[in-house]
Structure 1
Amino acid sequence: MAAESMKNEPKIDPKEILEGIVEWIEIESPSHDAKAVNLMVDKVEGQFRDLGLNLDRTPGCDGFGDILEARTPAEWSTGQGKGILVLAHLDTVHPLGMKEKELKIRQEGDSVFGPGIYDMKAGGYIAYYALRHLIRQGKRTKLPVTFLFIPEEEVGSPTSRARIEEAARGHKYALVMEPGRDGDKVVTSRKGVGRFTLTAKGRAAHAGVRHEDGRSAILEIARQIVRIEEKTDYARGITCNVGLIRGGSGVNVTPAECSIDVDLRVPSMQLAEEMTHWFLNLEPIGKEVELTVEGGMNRPPYQKDAGITALFQKAQAIYRELGKELNDVPLTGGGSDGNFTAALGIPTLDGLGADGKGAHAITEQIYFSSLQPRTYLCARLLETLE
């Protein structure tokens, strides 16, 4: 019998990983339900306490759940100084009850379904299991490790951004456990995300008797929508999407007010500044109508630089230990908390979670076959980064 197979050493067990992931997705945790999210925080807090980590739980604010930080004790790492920041979020986009309805927790072949399983409870659990695997083996990390679990990433991390950026400044690397992509791929760059609200104020009038006296806010916004959507430029990586519109008080009344919410995605800080300036300087198209514009960049662009390239190459080398090749997604339009760390110049590797598909959809699923290699990658990054 080969010496390798004689080793009595803990192995990464994908069935055990899946059991843990299922425990997490059984606890549904929509972003705006602080009580539900905090049930998840309770679960994760208990698991990291059992591992012996130092815990810091910050009460939520503005109706969101708590922020959980778990740090490895100083004696666990062989090196000192700035360490590894692991980012994950515990909230999901799915409302309570999805696991009994359209998104029942189940396995069909290689696919495992459930609310938030892909985005991103599988990734968060993989990070926990990876550290536990090292502890089981009696191994130490070269650098201190901090796990930061976020309660409202799906709505832009409004209450946790400052905490993420503060933590990032004290660390050498950031590993983001968002879902993997398209097979053996991770994320090394993301577009920046902007949010803008346009409000037009016109003048109400009777639509039949005194139509000429009215100034339609809806007409003004309709013209602005065409102007905004035409700023989408796929060649430059710019997308503008008017996603919400509100206006009017009655079908027989010239609408006095109308507003829209706009989503902007850009690949660089230069374009972020250019488009922000453009939005904030929009002027009315119609006569005797007021237009106000509010907003700005919600997440800065996450651009692949030399530090990120070097970190990605280390991950590639680890993946080759499995006989597999790791690639990166050239540029993804979705934002994550990795945007914040990368914008600060911290080498950031994102998309380290389970592979799958259907984020935010009723087809959300992970691939069971991705659990072992993804956990191995995470564990070896924690073990070897220096």
Structure 2
Amino acid sequence: MSTPSTVRDSAVTQAAIIDTIRRLVECESPSGDHAAVARSADLVAELGTRLLGAAPERIEVDGVVHVRWRFGASTRVLLLAHHDTVWPIGTLRRLPYDVRAGVLTGPGSFDMKTGLAMALHAVAGLDDRDGVTILVTGDEELGSPRSRALIEETARGASAALVLEASADGGALKTERKGVSLYEMVVSGRAAHAGLEPEKGVNASVELAHVTITAAALTDAAAGTSVTPTVASSGTTTNTVPAAARLWIDVRARTADELERVDVALRGYVCVTPGASIEVRGGVNRPPLEPGMSAGVFALAARLADRLGHEPLTHVAVGGASDGNFTAGMGVPTLDGLGAVGGGAHADDEHVLVDEIVPRTRLLTELVAAISRTEEPWHN
């Protein structure tokens, strides 16, 4: 079977990629520790400069450091990764980096330092990098509050975005992700003595109960929409009518229309308890990655996988969000889950299957090359 000849073999070898993964994993980078994230960004810049022969931009936003390489005058294909993890400093002492019996382990190895290493080596393996951009952010695990604008600015006008988050079970790519909305419902009432004159109070806890039931009823399982009241709080003492209450709500939906439906309903909520008032904070956090935004790029990846002799690619829909939601929400065709094959994200058994690393990196190289050099329907 003939295969494309895009890859520079010296850049895409198991030993080279695993060494990059080791160095990334052994540089701990919990999202909330800005100093640790800065050290990790410096390492990413060092490793990428050596592989790519070019230094990146080092972009600091509100104390969080992101790294970006741009090749050429404009971005045709964006590789999107993050270098922060959920693991606190010191985790390496308990869960050290290791490779044993074909399995690579260590905090952040699966989510997503292997994917980051694959992105760097895949682009290093290209004969022509014109039109390719790599963006490595430092706050994805927190919901990307300081990188969203940077992601959207970088992706603007791109033909496609390739997200190096880890694959789903069995190596499946992620062609659909639910959008996410987060709300804080703040109820205001009036305090009074619960024994002497409760009738003079306006009970925020009672109103909170109405809000909770109303919000939960917005769930539409058939449409794939969940509206989940999560954290609730109210009251100050056991003998006082509560004057204030708060409810946090997590919304997940497959389509932008469903996120909009829930948003309108929550913002239009009318208090049931006389005298109570409500303030709605928050809103849409990440738009959905809808299947139509990934179909063309997935079809291309599947054709390339066949030419390379891979097993047929599979794809799934997942409930969790990634930075790919932002690019898809902009109208940029987006394919996610191109990173590591393994499992255990955010868990002690986090691991990567070593034998999958090189084939997936070669596929990524060919995919980047194909998108950057040809005109196809996936273009924005």
In the superposition, the TM-score normalised over structure 2's length comes to 0.88
The residue that corresponds to 1:68 in the other structure is 67
- Please identify, of 244-253 and 115-124, the stretch whose mean Cα deviation from structure 2 is larger: 244-253
Is residue 176 of structure 2 the alignment partner of residue 189 of structure 1?
yes
SS at match of 1:323: coil
CA distance in 2, matches of 1:318, 1:149: 25
Deviation at 1:281, TM superposition (A): 0.9
Given the superposition, is the C-alpha separation of residues 174 and 283 from structure 1 closer, same or farther in structure 2, using an over 3 Å criterion? Answer: same
CA distance in 2, matches of 1:243, 1:110: 40
CA distance in 2, matches of 1:155, 1:279: 24
CA distance in 1, matches of 2:207, 2:100: 50
Is residue 121 of structure 2 the alignment partner of residue 129 of structure 1?
yes
The residue that corresponds to 1:144 in the other structure is 131
Pairing 1:12-161 to 2, within 5 Å after superposition: 12-50=12-50, 51-61=52-62, 64-72=63-71, 74=72, 82-101=75-94, 103-107=95-99, 109-134=101-126, 139-141=127-129, 143-161=130-148
CA distance in 1, matches of 2:214, 2:204: 15
Matched AA of 1:182: D
The residue that corresponds to 2:335 in the other structure is 349
Q: Which runs of 5+ in 2 are unaligned?
A: 1-7, 374-380
The residue that corresponds to 2:267 in the other structure is 280
Q: 2:347 aligns with which of 336, 350, 361?
A: 361
Contact 1:322/1:373 (8 A) holds in 2:
no
Work out the number of aligned pairs and report it: 363
Instruction: Describe the superposition over 1:214-258 as per-residue Cα deviations: whole angstroms up to 9, x where unpaired.
Output: 333223213322222232222111011222223322233322111
Given the superposition, is the C-alpha separation of residues 106 and 48 from structure 1 closer, same or farther in structure 2, using an over 3 Å criterion? Answer: closer
Given the superposition, is the C-alpha separation of residues 118 and 243 from structure 1 closer, same or farther in structure 2, using an over 3 Å criterion? Answer: farther
Given the superposition, is the C-alpha separation of residues 9 and 94 from structure 1 closer, same or farther in structure 2, using an over 3 Å criterion? Answer: closer
Given the superposition, is the C-alpha separation of residues 365 and 250 from structure 1 closer, same or farther in structure 2, using an over 3 Å criterion? Answer: farther
Instruction: Describe the superposition over 1:336-362 as per-residue Cα deviations: whole angstroms up to 9, x where unpaired.
Output: 111111122212111111022222233
Pairing 1:217-232 to 2, within 5 Å after superposition: 217-232=204-219
CA distance in 2, matches of 1:94, 1:251: 39
> Runs of at least 4 residues of structure 1 off by over 6 A?
none
Deviation at 1:44, TM superposition (A): 0.7
CA distance in 1, matches of 2:76, 2:366: 15
Deviation at 1:83, TM superposition (A): 1.9
SS at match of 1:362: coil
The residue that corresponds to 1:315 in the other structure is 301
SS at match of 2:294: helix
The residue that corresponds to 1:257 in the other structure is 244
Given the superposition, is the C-alpha separation of residues 170 and 203 from structure 1 closer, same or farther in structure 2, using an over 3 Å criterion? Answer: same
CA distance in 2, matches of 1:145, 1:87: 11
In the superposition, the TM-score normalised over structure 1's length comes to 0.87
SS at match of 2:121: helix
CA distance in 2, matches of 1:287, 1:22: 61
Deviation at 1:205, TM superposition (A): 2.5
Contact 1:37/1:91 (8 A) holds in 2:
yes
Pairing 1:363-382 to 2, within 5 Å after superposition: 363-382=349-368
Instruction: Describe the superposition over 1:74-131 as per-residue Cα deviations: whole angstroms up to 9, x where unpaired.
Output: 4xxxxx7542111111112222222234x44344544433222222111111101222
Given the superposition, is the C-alpha separation of residues 106 and 225 from structure 1 closer, same or farther in structure 2, using an over 3 Å criterion? Answer: farther
Pairing 1:191-270 to 2, within 5 Å after superposition: 191-270=178-257
Deviation at 1:15, TM superposition (A): 4.1
The residue that corresponds to 2:376 in the other structure is none
Deviation at 1:333, TM superposition (A): 1.3
CA distance in 2, matches of 1:159, 1:206: 44
Instruction: Describe the superposition over 1:256-286 as per-residue Cα deviations: whole angstroms up to 9, x where unpaired.
Output: 1111221111111211211110111112122
CA distance in 2, matches of 1:23, 1:242: 41
CA distance in 1, matches of 2:74, 2:196: 75
- Please identify, of 223-232 and 207-216, the stretch whose mean Cα deviation from structure 2 is larger: 207-216
Contact 1:53/1:71 (8 A) holds in 2:
no
Matched AA of 2:58: R
SS at match of 1:66: strand
Instruction: Describe the superposition over 1:296-342 as per-residue Cα deviations: whole angstroms up to 9, x where unpaired.
Output: 1111111122x63221111112222133111111x221111111111
CA distance in 2, matches of 1:133, 1:198: 50
Contact 2:11/2:122 (8 A) holds in 1:
no
Contact 2:187/2:245 (8 A) holds in 1:
yes
Given the superposition, is the C-alpha separation of residues 381 and 261 from structure 1 closer, same or farther in structure 2, using an over 3 Å criterion? Answer: same
